[in-house]
Amino acid sequence: MNYLNIHTDILRGVEFIGAEPVERATWIALLGWCATQENSGVIKSCKSWKNRQWQQLAGVTEQEVKTISPLYGFEGDDLVVAYYPVDSEAAVKAKRKAGKLGGRPKKEKPKENPDKTKEENQLVSHVVSDSEKQDENEKKGKGKDKDKDKEKITKNSANAEELDKDLLLSFWNSAPERARRRSSRKQVADEWKKIKKSDRPDKETIVNAIEAWNKCEDWTKDGGSFIPGLHLWLKNEKWLDLPEQPAKKKVRILTKEML
C-alpha cells in the first residue's frame, strides 16, 4: 500500500497519548514498513533481527522495537503492530486483483437477514464459504443420487454456518477489548477456517479457555500490554494450553484459644 488510513481516534487514544515520543515515531515507522509489505501488521520471525537489519528495512533500531509499548510488541517471534489498517489493506488487494482481471469486481448481494447484526455477518462470512467448499468436495466421486446429495450438502452447510456463527461470536465477545483491538473479525474467521473440523473446540471449551487467559497474570500485568491479537491466540491453539490461575489468598481464622 502507498497510503495509511489511520482513524484519528487512535491518535487521541490512551495508548498513543500515553506513549513516549520515541515509541510514537517507532510505531509510525513500523506501520509504514508493514504497509509496503502488506503483512496485516505482523512482521513474522523478526525477533532475531540485528540492529542493522532493523535500520535498513524499517528505519528503526533494535532497542526501539524491543521497548515494551502499547503500540507494538512481540508475540513469540513475531512483532505485532497495533491499529494496523487491515481492512484498508484488503480493499487495496481487491482493487488490484480487479485491475489485473479487467473491469470492476462484481458486487456481492447482501444476505437478507434483518435479525442479525452487521458484526455477526462480517464474522462468519469467511467461515461459511469454507464449510460449503468442504461439503462440495465430499460430494465429488459419489455420482449417484445427486439430488439427495445436493439437499444433504445444503442442509449440512446451513447447520455448520449456524454453529460456527454462534461459537465465534461468543468467542469474540468473551475476549478482552485489547485482544480484539489487536485483531479483526476477518482475521479470526480466517484462522478458524485453517483449523481442521475434527480439531475445532466446542463453544464451551473455547469460551472457558479465553476467560481463563483473561484472568492470568501474563494478561493482567502492565495494563494488559502482553495480550496478543485474538487471531494469534486462535492460531497458536491456546485453548489447549491453559495458564495457571492465581492462587487464592488463604484467610486465617483466629479462635478464642489463639487470642
Is the pLDDT confidence value at 153 over 50? no
pLDDT interval class at 114 (50, 70, 90)? low
Any idea what DSSP says for residue 48? T
Per-residue confidence (pLDDT) for residue 102, from 0 to 100? 46
What integer best gives the mean pLDDT of the chain? Answer: 79
- Measured between its terminal Cα atoms, the distance across the chain in Å is 73
What are the pLDDT digits (tens) for 200-243?
999 999 999 999 998 898 888 888 888 998 899 999 999 998 88
- Specify the pTM: 0.40
Its sign, for the CA torsion 166, 223, 220, 66, is positive
Per-residue confidence (pLDDT) for residue 27, from 0 to 100? 87
Listed range (54-68, 87-101, 129-143, 168-182) with the worst mean pLDDT: 129-143
Per-residue confidence (pLDDT) for residue 123, from 0 to 100? 63
Any idea what DSSP says for residue 199? G
Mean pLDDT over residues 1-5, rounded?
Answer: 79
Mean pLDDT over residues 44-60, rounded?
Answer: 91
Per DSSP, the residues of 53-118 read HHHHHHS--HHHHTS-BTTEEEETTEEEETT--HHHHHHHHHHHHHHHH-SPPPPPPPP--TTS-H
Is the pLDDT confidence value at 186 over 80? yes
Is the pLDDT confidence value at 249 over 60? no
In three-state secondary structure terms, 43 is strand
The answer to whether residues 157 and 127 touch, using CB atoms and an 8 Å cutoff, is no
Is the pLDDT confidence value at 115 over 60? no
The answer to whether residues 61 and 54 touch, using CB atoms and an 8 Å cutoff, is yes
Percent of the chain past pLDDT 70, that is, above it, reads 71
Per-residue confidence (pLDDT) for residue 2, from 0 to 100? 78
Per-residue confidence (pLDDT) for residue 103, from 0 to 100? 45
What are the pLDDT digits (tens) for 13-44?
888 888 889 988 998 999 888 888 888 989 99
User: For residues 66 and 21, what is the distance between their CA atoms, to the nearest angstrom?
Assistant: 15
Does residue 185 or residue 252 have the better pLDDT? 185
Burial code of 144-156, b = ≥16 C-beta within 10 A, e = fewer? Answer: eeeeebeeebeee
Bridge partners (DSSP) of residue 72 are 69, 81
Per-residue confidence (pLDDT) for residue 60, from 0 to 100? 92
Per-residue confidence (pLDDT) for residue 257, from 0 to 100? 60
